[in-house]
Amino acid sequence: MKPLINDLTLQELTESITKTGEPAYRAKQIWQMVYKQLIAEPSEFSNLSKEFRTKLDEQFCFLPLKVEKDLKSSDEQTNKLLFRLQDNRMIESVLMRYKERNTICISTQVGCPMNCAFCATGQMGFLRNLSAGEIVAQVLFFASMLKSEGLKLTNIVIMGMGEPFHNYDAVMKAIGIINDPDGMNFGERRITISTVGIIPRIEQFTAAKRQINLAVSLHAPSNTIRDKIIPANRKYPIDSLLEACRNYTEKTGRRITFEYALIHGLNDNYENAVQLCKRLKGMLCHVNLIPLNSTEKYAGSGSNHDRTQSFKSVLDKNGIPCSVRLKRGIDIGAGCGQLLAEQNKQE
């Protein structure tokens, strides 16, 4: 298999190009075509000679994602893409257009090893990590799709298939590539990483002092409840997890987001809300409440409107900033935790 161009930083690309006898500035020309002009194929790199374009095509893979399916929600605001990777594995990613925001939700692994009970990706098991370039390629795909509509990509959430902190180096490298000022120059502040709560990586991330937003999938106020739905809680129990989160906010001065999927009768009563408030008191945080989306292999269901609002009102009274997240793309299975490559489902 040819090396994927998106796996390389500008510096690595420069090294690779100069080794084949080309001048260093050629690397920057390629970089600008790919990351500024959002042109995917070297045959369309009009600033380069035909010979060099052919040479590039022979040397690198430029299109690692083949569109297998492109589903549009009934309101036409959300697209769910099923991509085939070079090794024929599949991943899904989502684009949500909403008011001034065009947000993409991208994947970091094929499947996921964390095995959260309610999550469709977890239910399919873990196949492999994505490379930095495969993560970058998802961003480029949607950036160019939006460009063709006269729109711009504004936000990236790393909340698709997989556990980003279980593929930490590739995720950070991918962010470095799209953040590069000579290329896409996509600001870290417009990127959010969501983790199930892998403590050593939260500590590493804290020390790195990046501008990227951090979200943690809490989903429960106690070990008793969290153990039932998130196997990782046995290794990283809630007290140590929240200590790492508190430390993150104190060291970086940045607010942390907690995701809380409301599951009817499991984690959504008054006591659960009170216990959650006690745990989060005084922390620089925001809680995203989202009624669980149904998935095939999990019997639990999302809390109804009244229970959701009652839960929220306890947080409001206790001064814990929170919001109820909008459900988008449910009709095409593009909601949180619903991503699962159809092909794998059929196998």
261 binds ligand SAH per the rule CB under 6 A: yes
Question: Exactly one of 79, 102, 179, 217 binds ligand SAH (CB under 6 A); which one?
Answer: 217
Question: Exactly one of 95, 110, 159, 315 binds ligand SAH (CB under 6 A); which one?
Answer: 159
CA pair distance 322, 325, nearest whole angstrom: 9
Q: Using an 8 Å Cβ cutoff, are 84 and 90 in contact? A: yes
Distances (CA, A) of 319 to 241, 276, 285, 308: 21, 12, 11, 17
> Shortest Cβ distance from residue 22 to ligand SAH (Å)?
40
Residues in contact with ligand SAH, shown as a per-residue x/- string from 112 to 151 under the rule CB under 6 A: --x-x-xx--------------------------------
> Shortest Cβ distance from residue 50 to ligand SAH (Å)?
44
> Shortest Cβ distance from residue 180 to ligand SAH (Å)?
25
Q: Which of residues 221-260 bind ligand SAH (CB under 6 A)?
A: 259
Pick the stretch among 9-17, 245-253, 286-294, 308-316 that binds ligand SAH (CB under 6 A): 286-294
Provide the β-strand partners of residue 98: 101
Q: Which is nearer to ligand SAH, 4 or 214 (CB)?
A: 214
Q: Which is nearer to ligand SAH, 63 or 332 (CB)?
A: 332
Amino acid identity of residue 191, one-letter, is I
Q: Which is nearer to ligand SAH, 146 or 196 (CB)?
A: 196
100 carries an active-site annotation: no
Q: Using an 8 Å Cβ cutoff, are 178 and 137 in contact? A: no
Q: Quickly list DSSP for 133-173.
A: HHHHHHHHHHHHHHHHTT----EEEE-SSS-GGGSHHHHHH
119 carries an active-site annotation: no
CA pair distance 105, 147, nearest whole angstrom: 17
DSSP-derived 3-state class of residue 316: helix
CA pair distance 41, 61, nearest whole angstrom: 9
Closest CB to ligand SAH belongs to which residue?
337
Q: Which is nearer to ligand SAH, 39 or 218 (CB)?
A: 218
295 binds ligand SAH per the rule CB under 6 A: yes
Residues in contact with ligand SAH, shown as a per-residue x/- string from 167 to 206 under the rule CB under 6 A: ---------------------------xxx----------
Q: Of 112, 119, 285, 336, which is the active-site residue?
A: 336
Cα angle, residue 104 at apex, residues 186 and 293 outer, rounded to 5°: 150
Question: Exactly one of 290, 322, 334, 340 binds ligand SAH (CB under 6 A); which one?
Answer: 290
Give every CB contact of residue 129 below 8 A, 6+ residues apart in sequence.
108, 109, 110, 162, 166, 167, 170
Q: Of 92, 134, 163, 259, which is the active-site residue?
A: 92
Pick the stretch among 29-37, 72-80, 184-192, 285-293 that binds ligand SAH (CB under 6 A): 285-293
Residues in contact with ligand SAH, shown as a per-residue x/- string from 71 to 110 under the rule CB under 6 A: ----------------------------------------
Distances (CA, A) of 28 to 12, 21, 44, 182, 304: 11, 15, 16, 8, 53
Q: Which tokens belong to 80?
A: 């769910």
Provide the β-strand partners of residue 103: 96, 155
Q: Using an 8 Å Cβ cutoff, are 230 and 219 in contact? A: yes
CA pair distance 42, 133, nearest whole angstrom: 16
Q: Which residues bind ligand SAH (CB under 6 A)?
A: 114, 116, 118-119, 159, 163, 194-196, 217, 259, 261, 290, 292-293, 295, 336-337
Residues classed as catalytic: 92, 336
